[in-house]
Amino acid sequence: MDLFEFQAKELFAKYGVPVNPGRVARDAAGAREIAAEFAAAGTPQVVVKAQVKTGGRGKAGGVKLANGPGEAQAAAERILGLDIKGHIVHRVLVTEASDIAAEYYLSFLLDRSERTYLAICSVEGGVEIEEVAHSNPDAIARIPIDPLTGVDAAKAAEIVRAGQLPAAAAEGAAGLAERLWAVFTGEDATLVEVNPLALTPDGRVLALDGKVTLDDNAAYRHDWAGFADTEGADPIEARARARHLNYVKVDGEVGIIGNGAGLVMSTLDVVAYAGEQFGGMRPANFLDIGGGASAEVMADGLEIVLSDPSVRSVLVNVFGGITSCDEVARGIVSALGMLAGRGEPVRLPIVVRLDGNNAAEGRRILDEAGIAVIEQVATMDDAARRAAELAAAGTGA
């Protein structure tokens, strides 16, 4: 789970990482109010920043300097509602504008390839680190961190030194690095990034921006309820999550339901290949109903997939490993019954491919149920082709 900047900074503050003061507003009047408070406290200069979970906000016009409440309100009016790389701005962060002497970069992240953690530090900050990696790779230090020993004062000093930060910033940056490491481990983050890490003319070092990615698997041991992103999420994805379904929206016409992450990903791909022959039909979603797909889960899954208005056909692709295909078949039959019972009978074609454990019995159950919208196909490739064909017929393509 990615956090917004203001949420990242809340976490930073909780762990003692110095940040510049600021508050978040949902409308321009709110931004004006916050700027007025800063002005009353003697700092009329503020920065109004779009809160979106993507980079390049500045270039997209999502970050503006404002002098006083009026300008802050005007800036917020221009920024709220912007579409930045597909992310709509619903909130702005209004922060005190800091005087900056220099900008650096610091992050801790999970290094998947090396199965360990990594600190990245650079004297060149304020631009995307990928750009620095291109323009001046020698300016970036990458220091592996042993998960068993972590970052103590000595390690933090080593990181800052390797990043070639000047003496004036070294002590403050090392202290910040130690506390940032505490955020990383304490919050089960896979990324904590400060860019820019700023040095002020009076010698303070603080985080002017923050990016945090949290490990969803660790949610059980944290209170992250406040970070739930209701506005930014796709509405169908949000409803699927509420039902504990593993659903991802993609922009196509063939609804997909399957068991096992790998098989479902593969099903999307195979549908996309097959769809090339049928006017470019594409998968509409990823939905993994997991191992023991009960009728309830199948009904929820079907309902979610069918609630997507772009769906023209559905492909149910199940390989029974541990799961028994007869149970899946019963799940499909009772799911369709449940939906009909709720007054939402399914009218779109559903292509079903069952294979593996007890497949023959599963196919027999579906045949005997005699449900008009269900069409059984023996192999995954043929089922994908048929589902794409039916979707194309449904769109008139």
Partner 1 sequence: MTIFLNTDSRILIQGITGSEGRKHGRRMLQAGTAVVGGTNPRKAGQTVDLGVAEVPVFGTVAETISATGADVSVVFVPAAGTKAAVIEAIDAGIPLVIVITEGVPVHDTAEFWAYACAAGNATRIIGPNCPGVASPGKSNAGIIPADITSEGRIGLVSKSGTLTYQMMYELRDIGFSTAVGIGGDPVIGSTHIDCLEAFQNDDETDAVVMIGEIGGDAEERAAAFIERRVSKPVVAYVAGFTAPEGKTMGHAGAIVSGSSGTAQAKKEALEKAGVRVGRTPSETARLVREVMRSR
Query: For binding to partner 1 (CB under 8 A), which residues are involved?
Result: 110, 112-113, 115-117, 130, 146-148, 185, 188, 190, 215-218, 220-221, 246, 248, 250, 258-266, 268-273, 282-283, 286, 288, 319, 321-322, 355-357, 379-381
Q: Which one is catalytic: 103, 124, 178, 193?
A: 193
**Distance in Å, CB of 237 to partner 1, minimum:** 9
Which of 104, 105, 117, 247 is catalytic? The answer is: 105
Distance of alpha carbon 175 from alpha carbon 267, whole angstroms: 49
Give the separation between CA 17 and CA 151, rounded to whole angstroms: 15
CB of 53 to partner 1, least distance (A): 9
- Residue 193: active-site member: yes
Q: Closer CB to partner 1, residue 38 or residue 117?
A: 117
Q: How far is CA 80 from CA 44, 46, 92, 211, 386, in A?
A: 21, 16, 7, 20, 44
Residue 350: strand, helix, or coil: strand
- Cβ nearer to partner 1, comparing 113 with 230: 113
Show Cβ contacts of residue 178 under 8 Å, excluding neighbours closer than 6 positions.
151, 152, 153, 156
CB of 245 to partner 1, least distance (A): 11
Nearer to partner 1, 38 or 319 (CB): 319
Longest dimension (CA), the chain: 80
Q: Which long-range contacts (CB under 8 A, 24 or more apart) does 161-166 make?
A: 162/121, 163/104, 163/105, 163/106, 163/121, 163/122, 163/123, 164/122, 164/123, 164/139, 165/104, 165/121, 165/123, 166/102, 166/123
Q: By C-beta, is 29 or 228 nearer to partner 1?
A: 228
For partner 1, the closer of residues 74 and 265 by Cβ is 265
What's the rounded Cα separation, in Å, for the pair 93 and 57?
12
- Answer yes or no: are the C-beta atoms of 262 and 218 closer than 8 Å: no
Residue with tokens 């007890």: 358
Q: Which is nearer to partner 1, 94 or 328 (CB)?
A: 328
Nearest CB to partner 1, comparing residues 93 and 272: 272
Contact 285, 255 (CB under 8 A): yes
Nearest distance from residue 200's CB to partner 1, in Å? 31
Active site residue 105: yes
Q: For residue 196, say if its preceding peptide bond is cis, omega within 30 degrees of 0.
A: yes
**Helix or strand run (H / E) with residue 192:** strand 189-199
Is 38 within 8 Å of 20 (Cβ atoms)? no
- CA nearest neighbour of 119 among 45, 173, 59, 72: 173
Which phi and psi angles does 90 have, rounded to 5°?
-105, -15
Catalytic residues: 105, 193
